[in-house]
Structure 1
């Protein structure tokens, strides 16, 4: 007879399927920029904090509006009295009250202040979203740069190791000196020390991207091989004008300047009188051992309150509010200058990186020829093995600088869009298209 499977086998199967679908980072392919950005929007604590802060800020308008709307309240009380001298009695009271502000400048300016407050909170949310794009892209391309730098070091290690083997063979034949072999060995150890440092740096960059995305990062897609590293399309003046009009930090401080201006008016309005309409209705039921009495009172009134003296607090708060307005204006001026400076800096970095890339591409080609020429010169007896090592050092130095220039161009372009206030979702998609989707993944 066939033995029946244990009852818990289906539970193991369900558990396995759950783990499979809840661990996309393990079973999925290489992470591209869009995938990293998508994960960050769900896992980055800094961004999620700003989302909840924006949700809280959306309530400012409703809170401020409440100061202009009627307030309705109801109450009830029950009193039981009993003493040696008097008979016991009970009193029940039920009351409703309606208060409607008719004239209240402080509440009015508080409501006026809430409009730019809400807009500032929304801009802060946009800033958090743009900052997340920038942090994800910086972390992603920093990781790619570390991976590419590691690849260059490993290639240089292999090249220097081959040269050392050749020098050892030449020394055995008497056509090379011991110092050439020692020079090659010194260079090899130097490169290996660089590899150890690069491995540590690579792990740090992986951890940084993992912290933002919330998942372990193993493989990422590398930059494409044939990309155009052109200067910015618009003029510097155009980008500066964009920054003054659209930079998110500038817009945030513009809204908060309006908040503080209305805050100053609100502080000054505390000198003004307030007028409220009050409607009340109260039922009272009083009972003793000898009688019961019911009383109903309905009243309508207009309350006028004129502030005369508050110990100097109102004047002090107004002076404080005026100083805060001046500070907000200074902060706004600083943000405008900073936006122009950062756009100018990013624009200049793009231009410099473009020029460096094309110059270093030629330098790499020239150094490849120099290595080949030095190797031929050694075989011909007119160059020394040390000349070959020097040529290879220059070659890998040029390749490293070219690699850095390419990533500088990408990040400067991203920084330009960010500080100009024009970094959109489409820009992330365009950056993602720079990756070699069909190529081999870059990994540690």
Structure 2
């Protein structure tokens, strides 16, 4: 049985932007069997956050980016090294042969005072860490949309199986009625054969529908990491659909600012620019400070001497003069990579505009499509009822009844598909606008009923 859904888009979009706490009455205590257990979108979403390899890999890359940033920072901080050694020395001369032990202990500290390549490498690592974080957010948003799409594909597969079975039962009843009339010479054999062929075709369709249910559940299980065999929450009955209340320009402005994939490309461009500055740093002088302390009883040419402490402070300047042209070649290569990063950013910016615009316009037409599908279903139901009554009075034949039944169930399929496509498209729109989060999924989940 098809349930009509009417969603208020303006309220829906506001729910996507902010968490919603719906008031619920306390359920009655009762036992729940495995067959009656139901999963909803939020539950599967939370499970997938812990099991989806794409999400886990994105999180790991984001953490790796932070660790690489910390590694680059370490090169800017003081480098402290300690060294100790103990030697056994045998010294032969024409006069004597001596054997003795010597010891050496040293502690050194080196600090960059000015080193442009090291500094720019740290700046590059900061941009790369931000890029990995933004890419992780985009991967999670993409995984959430993919989960929702598979969720509604699974619901559509369940719907298809139920509709095929219901249409088969309805057609079988009409076939039984025609057979009864045929035995009394009140119906033509062509009507009997037509309905029988339709019943047989629906039996084959039922087998295919059952197979599609299993395939859709497997696709859902792939993301969740377990077999999803329980019932899935369906769209509530009390829904009305309206076009987006915000203007397209508002969605585009939001997307260009908040889209995580676009932010990742901007961070990649910043990293490429820092890499160019790092390459140019090969032409700059560097300044470093070195402090060291040493204690040893080993003298010149490994001779034994009294223990002595030495303290050295060194201020070193290194000026690059010529490296065979490798530094300039590296800078040219990095400039080309920076230009490529600019083009990648521009390409994605245009894609974000296109995808946001497409999703927005599809959402507007989707609301109209649902209303049209609802009206088509009401008309098809009335036509089916009228055809069956007309058949009882001999006004129409069995083929007309069969056609009206087919149209009714086609209208049911179209309405359900329009509803699922509309909700999916809302999530896609929010994904490109950079506002898809767990709160968005929870807001969508409010429109599902257990």
Deviation, 1:26, is: 5.4
Find the aligned partners of 1:28 and 1:211 in 2 and give their Cα distance.
Answer: 23
| 2:396 is equivalent to residue 383 of structure 1 | yes
CA contact (8 A) 1:349 1:408 kept: no
Equivalent residue, structure 2, for 1:294: 307
| Greater RCO (Cα-Cα under 8 Å, separation 6 or more) | 2
* 97, 115, 127: which one aligns with 2:126: 115
Find the aligned partners of 2:120 and 2:110 in 1 and give their Cα distance.
Answer: 19
Equivalent residue, structure 2, for 1:95: 106
Deviation, 1:404, is: 0.8
Equivalent residue, structure 2, for 1:78: 86
Equivalent residue, structure 1, for 2:164: 153
Matched residue of 1:88: which SS?
strand
CA contact (8 A) 2:297 2:304 kept: no
| 2:132 is equivalent to residue 124 of structure 1 | no
The alignment yields a C-alpha RMSD, in angstroms, of 2.2
Equivalent residue, structure 1, for 2:65: 57
Find the aligned partners of 2:177 and 2:291 in 1 and give their Cα distance.
Answer: 104
Provide the aligned length of Structure 1 versus Structure 2. Answer: 413
Deviations 1:262-284 (A, max 9, x none): 11101111111111111122222
Equivalent residue, structure 1, for 2:173: 162
Deviation, 1:407, is: 0.7
| 2:437 is equivalent to residue 424 of structure 1 | yes
Find the aligned partners of 1:415 and 1:273 in 2 and give their Cα distance.
Answer: 51
| 2:152 is equivalent to residue 141 of structure 1 | yes
**TM-score of the superposed pair, with normalisation by structure 2:** 0.87
Q: Which runs of 5+ in 1 are unaligned?
A: 1-23, 438-444
Deviations 1:51-86 (A, max 9, x none): 222222222332222222211101112222347765
Matched residue of 2:146: which SS?
helix
Q: Which runs of 5+ in 2 are unaligned?
A: 1-31
Equivalent residue, structure 2, for 1:31: 39
1:319–1:248 CA distance, 2 compared to 1 (3 A): same
* 175, 184, 187: which one aligns with 1:176: 187
Deviations 1:355-375 (A, max 9, x none): 111112111111112222222
| 2:438 is equivalent to residue 412 of structure 1 | no
Equivalent residue, structure 1, for 2:242: 230
Find the aligned partners of 2:36 and 2:113 in 1 and give their Cα distance.
Answer: 64
CA contact (8 A) 1:25 1:215 kept: no
Find the aligned partners of 2:33 and 2:255 in 1 and give their Cα distance.
Answer: 38
